[in-house]
Amino acid sequence: MSIQISSKDTIIEWFERNREKYTQMARDIWKNPQTAYEETYASELQQKELESQGFTIKNDIGGLDTAFMAEYGQGKPIIGILGEFDALPGLSQTATPRKEEVTPNGPGHGCGHNLLGTAGVEAAAALKEKMEEDGLSGTIRYYGCPAEEVLSGKTHMAKAGVFDDLDSALTWHPMMNNAPMHASTQSMVSIKFHFKGKPAHAAASPEAGRSALDSVEMMNIGVNYLREHVPDGTRMHYTITDGGLAPNIVPETASVWYFLRAGSKEEVEGILERVQNIAKGAALMNETDVESEIIGFPYESLPNDPLNEVMYKNMLESAPLEYTKEEQAFAEELAQSLPTSGKSADELLPASISFHPYQPGVSLPGSTDVGDVSWIVPTGSITTTCTPVGTALHSWQATAAFGTQIGYKGMHLAASSMALTAYDLLTDKDDILEKAKETLDILRDGREYHPGI
């Protein structure tokens, strides 16, 4: 009696055969962290791998040196897989459960983008082989997206129009659970305010000076009073990036960098207008000048239930997460520095997979430029367990976990889920793509996408 092997079984078997190859890629990127717009190591490594697999490479997307697009196949549907690879400043860390820098104050992958992009490459390569094997028509694209951490890479790529002809996009993020994204991320504007005054000797002739730093400080006071009068869930963060040169010189220049977040781009635009008026008022009070520059302005994300349901089913079909005693011990020791200290290994490293429908109006506290893509094309997204429960992203604990087998196992689950989902979309026997497009139209409710920068 012969055993029938399904088409998806052969994809899953591909992941078992190629697991170590892509683990090594993720490890290499983790060991060579580079921050926004400087990710030459990861970008070149991924381009070489996909080119060797038969993908056509187009780089310098949107004028960004490290952005690229890798494509295989022809015709419709066109399925995009989003990847990221930038690290964060100041999060250098060894792959140990104790705080230990590799390079003092150096960068590190505290958001797991060494895993995020590699899973996309892995999924695209697996699907390409299956397309060849079955003679499937359609197009698969991997997008190497820089600078997600400063929330602008995909916006520049969107301005170049590279997502416009997609039928759907798939992505994921390393987290502490296995599930499709059921809540939106927040819209956010990243904006810098630059004040210019007049220098003077701070002791001999202070009356001759006009302090740009005073304007920054008065602006910050004004924004802090604004906090009482903004929508619930609004977040306003800032850091002074230029505060003058010396205490005995009235500062001629000073700058402050703001992140303003809220549940929708419309809300952020309203808050931004008020903050800009506060900056103008601070400049007026101190007889200084002010200019501003928007660095990034991603939309809130629009979770797509039809796509997320398919991704959920394919998470269940993928090889389950299983952890060794050594990995469990790592999680328990790392948790000693977390609020989850004392929990069991099973609680710290959940292997179960859950699904919750999208809840409009409910947003996560973070932001991502994936939001821009989700306004252009139906976008499915999942998270997988890559670090112990209780870990804060953008922390040394996260960097440590993302450089271990705990992170790599979550990455392979994500890659498998995306590849299986893309296969379903290429064969699309259940009109998934049409349902996903209808859902996006409902979520946009007549509103159009316009790049925020």
pLDDT over 90 at 363, yes or no: no
Among 87, 44, 314, residue whose Cα is nearest residue 178 = 314
pLDDT band of residue 418 (cuts 50, 70, 90) is: very high
Helical (H) or strand (E) element with 299? none
Among 351, 354, 357, 353, residue whose Cα is nearest residue 307 = 357
Residue 66 DSSP one-character state: T
Residue 301 DSSP one-character state: P
**What does pTM read for this prediction?**
0.93
pLDDT attached to residue 102: 97
pLDDT in tens, 155-168: 999 999 999 999 99
The position carrying tokens 């994204």 is: 181
pLDDT band of residue 6 (cuts 50, 70, 90) is: low
Whether 371 contacts 354, CB under 8 Å? no
Single-letter residue type at 90: G
| Rounded distance between C-alpha atoms, residue 145 and residue 83, angstroms | 6
pLDDT over 90 at 332, yes or no: yes
* 402 Cβ contact partners less than 8 Å away, ≥ 6 residues apart: 30, 109, 110, 112, 114, 115, 174, 386, 387
Provide the strand spans (E) within 243-367: 253-262, 289-296
Whether 231 contacts 161, CB under 8 Å? no
| Rounded distance between C-alpha atoms, residue 330 and residue 184, angstroms | 32
List the beta bridge partners of residue 169.
80, 379
Q: How far lies 451's CA from each of 76, 79, 153, 344, 375, in Å?
A: 26, 22, 11, 45, 10
Among 274, 186, 294, residue whose Cα is nearest residue 230 = 274
Q: State the angle between helix axes of 325-334 and 405-427 in degrees (0 to 180), rounded to the nearest 10.
A: 110
Helical (H) or strand (E) element with 90? none
Coil vs helix vs strand at 145: strand
pLDDT in tens, 126-160: 999 999 999 999 999 999 999 999 999 999 999 99
pLDDT attached to residue 1: 34
